[in-house]
A and B are shown apart, each in its own frame.
Chain A
């Protein structure tokens, strides 16, 4: 890989059978410019993440990462695990028959580290994510927030440059969600990871985003700096965001 020039999606199209899911989508993400992808359900947000990750090839267009072409029309040029990308899935995709530690070590073992090294790295990342005490538990024996941390630990243990988050916070209570989001942003800043987040939640968006893309029926209808879009956009999604944020600001102050 060349030096960190960012990620570029150029005129990408993706179809399932006769249905166009992504239609001529183009955008770029500069290093450490956390980006949020917004849009109604079924508009192609998750497909966009999968195409970027290299799980699907686009039907047209190309994707470059740090100046290297990784996908072009109907072709995966660089395999997903060689793209320096990690993905946290909406359902977290934790392998339920393995322990928390097992989930991490299996991913590390793919990198041909020595057994001792694998264990050490796995324990380090669990420590960093605050879940070392859960190492020998099965994912089903942990809480929703802890499972989210396990998924995050599994994603960052390979030290990716890009972390794709596919609505991973849905279903979490407010306190856990914000704790986790703060930790992810801190971790990303510390490790120079660029986040691309798919969400419906305006507060999650404001938390992460420097840049925003609004997707509608497979097309990018607006993009730019998140704060600019929030101030000026007439897109129904941004209007709703704005009104919700204003309502929150109108709330009376609470004494501790």
Chain B
């Protein structure tokens, strides 16, 4: 029996919306050619930016004490039969602030895959395609961010915003996500 918990692919999008890294770890997704990946990255970048700005209006100042983190969730279910994604683990909204900090799309779910997006403070986005049954995708994607910080950003031969061709990053991500 094939395990239903699968990490399909990892994409990294730089802050300008360009695709800088893509790698498939398990078969299952429809094969896209490299041009489609670039379009996907650019499109997602745009949608993500819009999703950050269509944040619901902040509650009136009298009710700031109500602890309601759901005002900052932007998870958009794409298919109607799909169950709504679970509430995001991070309560990103600080109720005392005037304009709450918004994360944009954090996850996007369909009947056969879930896309988890993590945006670093510098605007680099990590997109993780998993099966919907895969647990702890936010932990997995953060670990990928850590590896990116270690092996890509600390590598003196990597130039910023350029495609990631870093041997140790490949090895680390492969060791973490490829199932033997």
Genuine A/B complex: no
Give B contacts to A, CB under 8 Å.
none
